[in-house]
DNA sequence: ACATTGAGCTTACACATGTAAGCCGAAATT
DNA sequence: AATTTCGGCTTACATGTGTAAGCTCAATGT
């Protein structure tokens, strides 16, 4: 029941995933990756690739799921550390920027496929981002006692600004990156304060736009 | 002096540009475009392409410049129409969304190359976006009498949110797109109001991050 | 009127890609 | 012990790519 065979299969599957991740860089996007090169780096014959994924797209979707999950876990984790005092905004942004600079390939993947040419990819990334938004909105409702509607608009705006800043951070050195982070922190605070001023005219707010629900393979 | 020859050259140069624009779609990105196919659609031999552009990258940069310019002109134009009353935020966002839905290929190009694999491309798009920011910031300083620092932070945040919303709009139908626009309008107002609350603590604000200056071929 | 220029062409090459067909041999199942 | 399963291999093919070399011939410059 040990599954010598299954274990080996899982192993080369990971090899493929890691090979893909490895080849991703500032100069090489996922869409410019070739099945043959990935297979080569994973030390298997090109045609053996198909024993694990139907095509490159399926591999890519796996990467998106794993990447999104990793970032979300990191953020969730750092949000818990906050309960013992400290600014959530600052800590969350530090965590986020850490991810961007230390896992650039993954973040770049998310960014690129979010506006990429495959509907499946875009939806997959949209789902990941929606998770961030939801978790943040839930937090705002629970801890800050904001009305759901305002919390969601605010969370949406914050996520948009932060992701966009993350994109810029990819090309900056450490000092400029920190400056950008400080700037982003202020911008998030602007949104927070601004959102609070909408407590009075809730009834004028539009409902949130929801993305079409689709299967989700994450936790 | 009429320049029969020069005129013809300009004509096929445009044919190349238009061919490229024509092939761009939700499913086909610029990076997946091939020199041969573009040449084919422009009705010239593949090798003749080089009479006009050194390579595809140069063509792409031209598209980015033209696209960014088009959007900026549209926005500038709509901002002037405002002087005769009306909400700038609303009108600007309507204009922006018009551009996104009616020139999707161009907007997609900007989005994709902003996080693409070519530094040149990223810088080119960054420059375009910087123009939007600057023009908006200038407006805020001149018409709303905001301190430069706050105006820039606010403009930056607004542009980030709006562009991000534009990205989402690409996959939405007309009604959802309108809903998204309404939502974005509120979010922009949040930022505006939030920024105003920072009038008191200007001295605590970080300086803006500036992108490395580079040549600029626009007006 | 003659020489030069240059946009466009044809031909050709080397190369990388995705994937179909089918064999091999060890692990798993019966 | 006999059979089936299946991850990995080799070989092979058709296709698309960027671009080098060099010709043609009408518009231009003198």
| pLDDT tens, residue by residue, A175-205 | 999 999 999 999 999 999 999 999 988 878 7
- Binding-face residues of B in 66-95 toward A, CB within 8 A: none
Q: Which chain A residues in 147-186 lie under 8 Å from chain B, judged by CB atoms?
A: 153-154, 156-157, 160-161, 163-165, 167-168, 170-172, 176, 179-180, 182-183, 186
Contact flag, residue A44 CB and nucleic strand C, below 7 A: no
Chain B residues within an 8 Å CB radius of A31: 29, 31-32
Report pLDDT for A211. Answer: 63
At B26 the three-state DSSP class reads coil
Q: Is there contact between A202 and strand C, defined as CB under 7 Å from any strand atom?
A: no
| Residue position matching structure tokens 């909400």 | B87
Least Cα distance to B39 among B67, B75, B63, B12 occurs for B12
Q: What is the CATH number of domain B60-219?
A: 1.10.357.10
The neighbour count for residue B148, using CB atoms within 10 Å, is 13
Q: In terms of CA atoms, which chain B residue is nearest residue A155? A: B187
B194, B99 Cβ separation under 8 angstroms: no
Q: Where in chain A are the domains?
A: 1-53, 60-219
Residues of B in contact with A113 (CB under 8 A): none
- Judged by CB atoms closer than 8 Å, whether chains meet at A194 and B198 is answered as no
Cβ of A208 and B156 within 8 Å? Answer: no
Contact A16, A52 (CB under 8 A): yes
Give the model's confidence band at A84: pLDDT under 50 very low, under 70 low, under 90 confident, else very high: low
Q: Does B140 touch chain A (CB under 8 A)?
A: no
A:B CB pairs within 8 Å: 141
The verdict on a CB contact (< 8 Å) between A119 and B189 is no
User: Tens-digit pLDDT profile for chain B (219 aa)?
Assistant: 468 899 999 999 999 999 999 999 999 999 999 999 999 999 999 999 999 999 999 999 999 999 999 999 999 998 888 766 778 899 999 999 999 999 999 999 999 999 999 999 999 999 999 999 999 999 999 999 999 999 999 999 999 999 999 999 999 999 999 999 999 999 999 999 999 999 988 878 788 787 655 554 444
The CA distance from A61 to the nearest CA of chain B, in Å, is 17
A147-177 pLDDT, tens digit per residue, is 999 999 999 999 999 999 999 999 999 999 9
CATH topology of domain B1-53: Arc Repressor Mutant, subunit A (1.10.10)
SS3 sequence, chain B? Answer: CCCHHHHHHHHHHHHHHHHHHHHCCCCCCHHHCCHHHHHHHCCCCHHHHHHCCCCHHHHHHHHHHHHHHHHHHHHHHHHHHHCCCCCHHHHHHHHHHHHHHHCHHHHHHHHHHHCCCCHHHHHHHHHHHHHHHHHHHHHHHHHHCCCHHHHHHHHHHHHHHHHHHHHHHCCCCHHHHHHHHHHHHHHHHHHHHHHHCCCCCHHHCCCCCCCCCCCCCCC
Asked if residue B162 lies in contact with residue A157, where contact means CB atoms within 8 angstroms, the answer is no
């Amino acid at each position: 029941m040990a599954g010598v065979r299954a274990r080996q299969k899982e192993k080369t599957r990971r090899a493929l995933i890691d090979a893909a991740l490895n080849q991703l860089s500032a100069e090489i996007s996922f869409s410019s990756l070739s099945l043959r090169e990935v297979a080569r780096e994973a030390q298997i014959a090109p045609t053996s690739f198909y024993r694990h994924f139907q095509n490159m797209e399926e591999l890519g979707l796996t990467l998106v799921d794993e990447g999104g999950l990793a970032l979300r876990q990191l953020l969730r984790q750092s949000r818990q550390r906050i309960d013992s005092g400290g600014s959530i905004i600052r800590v969350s942004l530090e965590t986020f920027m850490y991810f961007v600079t230390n896992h650039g390939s993954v973040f770049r993947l998310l960014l690129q496929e979010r506006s990429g040419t495959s509907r499946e990819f875009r939806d997959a990334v949209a789902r990941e981002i929606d998770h961030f938004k939801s978790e943040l909105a839930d937090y705002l409702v629970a801890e800050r006692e904001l009305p759901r509607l305002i919390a969601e608009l605010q969370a949406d705006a914050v996520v948009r600004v932060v992701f966009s800043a993350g994109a810029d951070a990819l090309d900056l050195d450490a000092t400029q990156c920190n400056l950008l982070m400080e700037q982003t922190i202020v911008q998030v605070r602007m949104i927070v304060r601004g959102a609070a001023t909408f407590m009075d005219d809730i009834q004028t707010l539009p409902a949130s736009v929801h993305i079409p629900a689709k299967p989700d393979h994450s936790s």
